[in-house]
Amino acid sequence: MPTVSRTFIVSAARTSVVDYLKDFGNAEEWEPGTRACHRLDDGPIDVGSRWHNTSKLLGISTELVYELTQLDLDRLQFVGHNDTATSTDTLTFRDSPDGTEITYTADIVFHGAAKLADLPARLLFEKVGSEIVTNLTNILR
């Protein structure tokens, strides 16, 4: 099971950071593999909101439906599912003298034959984790 975690500081205030990141549709801007991410429901974003995410990494496309499972000023959690994997993305937040400290953790569990991709995926997601830090640092100014 690949797990990638990064802790970094962005200059934006925590409320702005949470407001931006709670809309998983914004992953199109900061998550390197995301090609499209569309909300599946209407109304205010809250626990239970869902998105259809299409990603492509190393030429392999995948689609997951993500659900917001936790939302507060200290923590966001999204859980994505498809037949081959479950991805849990957790973001925690703390105030920092320079803005907001974010800890981003992605846990991916492969199902069935996809478990064979565990080690190569771990290496790929380490690279993606670093790109996420760069992207969010640039966006959340």
State pLDDT tens for residues 56-100.
977 889 999 999 999 999 999 999 999 989 999 999 999 999 999
Question: What are the DSSP calls for 102-136, one per residue?
Answer: EEEEEEEEE-GGGGGGHHHHHHHHHHHHHHHHHHH
> What is the domain range of residue 32?
3-139
Q: How many domains are there within the chain? A: 1
* pLDDT at residue 126, rounded to an integer: 78
First to last CA, the chain: 33
Q: Are 135 and 6 in contact (CB under 8 A)?
A: no
Encoded amino acid at 101, one letter: E
* Pairs from 112-121 (Cβ < 8 Å, separation ≥ 24): 112/83, 112/84, 114/84, 114/85, 118/1, 118/2, 121/2
* pLDDT at residue 59, rounded to an integer: 80
Q: Are 116 and 29 in contact (CB under 8 A)?
A: no
Per-residue pLDDT reduced to its tens digit, 34-67: 999 999 999 999 999 999 999 997 788 999 999 9
* pLDDT at residue 120, rounded to an integer: 57
pLDDT of 114 strictly over 60: no
Per-residue pLDDT reduced to its tens digit, 98-112: 999 999 999 988 887
CATH of the domain at 129: 3.30.530.20
Query: How much is the pTM?
Result: 0.92
* pLDDT at residue 116, rounded to an integer: 47
User: 3-class SS at 15?
Assistant: helix
